[in-house]
Amino acid sequence: MLVLALVSQVFRWQSMTVALRLRFLILLKNVLPSLESVMDELKLTNCKTLHGRAEDLSHQDYRESFDIATSRAVARLPILLEWTVPYVKEGGYVIALKGAIYEEEWENPIKPSAH
């Protein structure tokens, strides 16, 4: 299951306030109520959930909208990057949480199939 966290940063230089807008992209609809409940309980007003497939939503309103995209290890690195990079603005970051074989995936990538 891909849980993709998308972050937009808003800085106010004079007051030194940093505000983060978080969007959690979830494929499984049954996970949304639990996550939304936690967000409500913690009073996280700048967080929203999105339901859908990462590869589909990246071609809609969310393309190149975020400063940071992060996800856990759900696929080989080339595929994970294909799913996350479209969300990130130019100059932004993708943080891919990978397991012990990340070096092997980096050195010997398997190219994603063409769509």
pLDDT by residue (tens digit) across 17-70?
556 778 888 888 888 888 888 888 888 888 888 888 888 887 777 888 888 888
Token code pair at residue 60: 């809609």
Q: CA quadruple 110, 113, 114, 115: dihedral positive or negative?
A: negative
pLDDT of residue 71: 81
pLDDT of residue 108: 65
Spatial CA neighbour of 70 closest among 49, 38, 92: 92
pTM: 0.68
Give the SS3 label for residue 94. strand
Backbone dihedral region for residue 71 (phi beyond 0: left; psi -120 to 50: alpha; all else: beta): beta
